[in-house]
Amino acid sequence: MLVQCGAAPAATASKLVRALGDAVPETTAGKQDERAPQETAHLLLALVAQQTEEQLRQDAAVRAEQAEGVHKLRIAARRIRSAPHDLPDAARAGGREPAARGAALAGQALGPARDAQVLREHLDAVVDAETPELVLGPVLRRIDAELGAAHRAGIEEARRVLDSERYFRLLDALDELVAVPPLTSRGHVASRELVPRLLAQDDKKLRTAVRDVGRTEDPDSRDLAMHEARKKAKRLRYAAESAIPVFGKRAKSYSKKVKKLQTTLGLHQDSVVARGKLRELGIQANLSGENGFTFGRLHALEEWRADRAERDFYAAWDKLPAKKIRRWIRR
C-alpha cells in the first residue's frame, strides 16, 4: 500500500545509518573514506553506527546458530560499550550511559558460552597433541561433557537475554544516542586536538597497570595484575583503532602494537582459567576412581603456556613507543 502511494524502500534497514546520513563514513560499505572526521562528535557517532550495524548482523548469526556468531556479537557489544568512553568528553554521561550499560548486558550474557567454547576447543587440541600413552582415562569425554554442558547453558542464557525487553531497549538507546546525540561543547572540538589527549589518558593507565605487574610477587596477585593490564590494553587498543580515521597509518601501527600486548595478556589469562578448570576436572576424576595423571600434566603445560605468554608480553611491551603518545601520534 505504501509503495503504491509513492513510498520507496529505505536504502538500509538501520535507523542509525538513516539518521546519520552523509555522516556515516563510506568504510561501512567496504570503501575507504579519505576524509577524516573533523569534529570529535562526528567520529563518535560514526563509531557507534558502524558497530551497531555489526551487532545487528551478528545478532542474526547467533539466532541462526552460526558458529562464530557469539564471538563476533560479543566483540561488537564490547566496541559499542567502549565507543562512548573512548571519546568521553564528547557526550554527556547521562546520555551515553544507557547504551553502554545495554552493551555490557549483551557482552556479559554472551561471555559464559564463548568462554566454554574457547576452553573446550583449546583443551581438546592439547589432548589430541599428546601421545596416547600419556592420556590415561576418559579425559576427552570428561572435558567435552563438562564444557559442552556449560556452552549449551550459556547459549540458552544468551538467547534469553537477546529476546528480553531490556536488550531491545539497548537498541532503542543506540538509536537515540545517534538521532539525538547528548553532545557537550567538547564534542565540537577538532578530533585531531581531542583524540590524542584521550589516547594519552588510556596509555597512562596501561603503563600504571604494567608497573603494578612488575611490583607483584605473589603468583595469584600477579595473575590478577596481568588481567587488569589486559583490560587496560584492550581499552587502549579500541581507542587507538577509533583514531585511525583521524591519524591514519600512525594510529593503525600503534593499535597493532597494543593488540599484540592484549593478545599475549589474553593467552596468559586463558591459561589461568584453564588451570582452574583442569584442577577441578582432576579432582572429579579422582573422586570417580579415574587416573588423574593427564589432568595434572595438562595443568603443568598451562603453567608453561603462562610463562611463555608473559615473556612474549614483555617482548611486545619493549616495542611499544615510549614517547609521549600525544606527540608521537601527531608527529
**For residue range 127-172, what is the model confidence (pLDDT) as tens digits?**
999 999 999 999 999 999 999 999 999 888 888 888 888 888 877 8
What pLDDT, on the 0 to 100 scale, is given for residue 52?
A: 76
> Domain segments of the chain: what residues?
38-189, 191-331
Arithmetic mean of pLDDT, 16-35: 41
Summarised one tens digit per residue, pLDDT across range 263-276 is: 999 999 999 999 99
Query: What pLDDT, in 10s, does the model give residues 206-257?
Result: 999 999 999 998 999 999 999 999 999 998 998 888 888 888 888 898 999 9
User: Residues 56, 166, 93, 190: what is their CA dihedral angle, to the nearest 10 degrees?
Assistant: 10
CATH of span 38-189: 1.20.120
Residue with C-alpha cell 600419556?
134
Q: Residue 6 pLDDT more than 60?
A: no
The pTM for the full model equals 0.78
pLDDT at site 17:
44
More confident residue, 12 or 40: 40
Q: What is the mean pLDDT of the chain?
A: 79
